[in-house]
Amino acid sequence: MITIGLIGKTNVGKTTFFNAATLLEKEVSNYPFTTKEPNIGTAYAKTICVCKEFNVKCQPNNSVCIEGYRFIPVRIIDVPGLIKGAWRGKGLGNKFLSVAARSDALIHIVDASGGIDAEGNIVKPGVGDPIKDFFDVENEIVNWFESILRKNMKDISKFFKRVGRMDAPIYKILSGLKISLNDISEALNKLGLYEKDIALWSDEEYRNFAKIIRRMKPTLIVANKMDVRGSEKNYDRLMDKLNDYIIVPCSAEAELALRRAVFSGLIEYIPGEEKFFIKDESKLNEKQKWAIKYLEERVMDKWIRTGIQDSIDIAVFKLLGMNTVYPVADEKTLTDNKGKVLPDVYLLPPNSTLKDLAMLVHSELADSLLYGIDARSGIRLPKNYRLRDRDVIKLVTTSKKR
């Protein structure tokens, strides 16, 4: 399953974001470092289900369909706040950096209200600087990457002397951090380090390499606490200074209040939509009323929904470029072998093939795979067919042919 890591300084609202995205109750407070262990939960990437197009009523199994929107599970990790020195084990230490680095994509949350100081303590909005916070955290990650390379310098160098190139030795050390051999080769080539023994690298070369490697992990920025007056100013500054990132304005607290109201049956609201329906106004508590008023006031502004669903969707579909693919056992009825209509949908990275899909469904299926049938056209698709978003495909195997 795809993993998305939430990173950022302490008190920026990571756990609030996590709770809203997963609707699981976890400790939220304004004390620094409330979260001491990474929380792991399930969030959902939202896409328009193919059931609308095929005009059928789907019966989801591995996902959920709400009014024609398919919600596909992804793993989300809430990492404790990172502060200066985290890479040395300061604060809550570098074990969290490794958790973050193992994610497929990262959501870097900042407090756009400027409501935390450099140490992550709550201060009057406008006092803190989210841009500085962003760079502090990014620096920790780069330092951490650099420290891994330095710690393993001898082993990397030994391996280099055998093969005469740097990519494989570094890949071996960074394996598990979801950085591809290709990306490592590219970074080395860019810096002219492909054939230079790491034992001879200068400080600057270490630093530059760590920086490039860091940027290869897909990352988006969430400007949180946009409900606080004055945060627009910081949002504009973020857009200006960090213009090579996608930045999503967000109010994690508003989304959390809305989802809780849905959970209690008080409103109807599809995450990520701009509209909702209040079932019984008299039953809403103060926070829920606030969230609703907030959404009503801000929804006019084209940038602001609550930002949570958008962030997950952007991470999955824009940063990672995932395709949604629906395997079926019968391409005419669109059912699995139990008669369920469009039960499963899988997220596959760009350039995945039919064989990759079969592998994801079941490794045995991949072994016996013959070809696929495209449900839209009825055309036969070879094993090496590159999947497209919204493909609905019957997988034909040797056992079925017999």
Ligand X SMILES: Nc1nc2c(ncn2[C@@H]2O[C@H](COP(=O)(O)OP(=O)(O)OP(=O)(O)O)[C@@H](O)[C@H]2O)c(=O)[nH]1
Single residue of 30, 180, 189, 399 touching ligand X by CB under 6 A: 30
* Residue 16 binds which of ligand X, Mg ion, none (CB < 5-8 A, kind-dependent): ligand X
Is 214 an interacting residue with respect to ligand X (CB under 6 A)? no
Among 5, 81, 130, 249, binds ligand X (CB under 6 A): 81
What is the x/- site pattern for ligand X, positions 242-281, by CB under 6 A?
A: ---------xxx----------------------------
Q: Which is nearest to 13 in space by CA: 113, 132, 83, 84?
A: 113
Number of residues in contact with ligand X, rule: CB under 6 A?
24
**Binding site partner of 260, from ligand X, Mg ion, none, Cβ cut-off 5-8 A by kind:** none
Q: CB–CB of 125/114 below 8 Å?
A: yes
- How many angstroms separate the Cα of 185 from the Cα of each of 102, 118, 168, 195, 220? 19, 36, 8, 10, 24
Instruction: Choose between 52 and 287: whose C-beta lies nearer to ligand X.
Output: 287
CA 295 to CA 289: how far, in whole Å?
10
Q: Tell which residue, 348, 342, 351, 347, has the closest CA to residue 393.
A: 342
H helices then E strands: how many in the chain?
15, 14
Q: Which is nearer to ligand X, 235 or 346 (CB)?
A: 235
Residue 342: strand, helix, or coil: coil
- Choose the binding region for Mg ion from 8-16, 144-152, 204-212, 325-333 (rule: CB under 5 A): 8-16
Name the residue nearer to ligand X (CB basis): 32 or 343: 32
Write the CA distances from 286 to 249, 257, 263, 269, 274, integer angstroms.
23, 10, 16, 18, 21
Q: 103 touches which of ligand X, Mg ion, none (CB within 5 to 8 A by kind)?
A: none
H or E element at residue 288 = helix 286-298
Q: Does 307 bind ligand X (CB under 6 A)?
A: no
User: Can residue 14 be called a binding residue for ligand X (CB under 6 A)?
Assistant: yes
Instruction: Return d(Cα 41, Cα 24) in angstroms, integer.
Output: 8
223 membership: H or E segment, kind and range: strand 219-224
The stretch among 4-12, 148-156, 309-317, 367-375 that binds ligand X (CB under 6 A) is: 4-12
Cα separations in angstroms, 214 against 230, 248, 368 = 31, 20, 39
Tell me the window of 33-41, 101-109, 168-176, 251-259 that interacts with Mg ion (CB under 5 A): 33-41
Instruction: Answer yes or no whether residue 28 interacts with ligand X by CB under 6 A.
Output: yes
Measured in degrees and rounded to the nearest 5, phi and psi for residue 78 equal -95, 110
Q: Which does 60 bind (CB under 5 to 8 A by kind): ligand X, Mg ion, none?
A: none
Partner in contact with 227, chosen from ligand X, Mg ion, none, beta carbon below 5 to 8 Å by kind: ligand X
The residue whose Cβ lies closest to ligand X is 81
16 binds Mg ion (CB under 5 A): no
What residues line the site for ligand X (CB under 6 A)? 8, 10-16, 28-30, 32-35, 80-81, 224-225, 227-228, 251-253
What residues line the site for Mg ion (CB under 5 A)? 14-15, 34-35
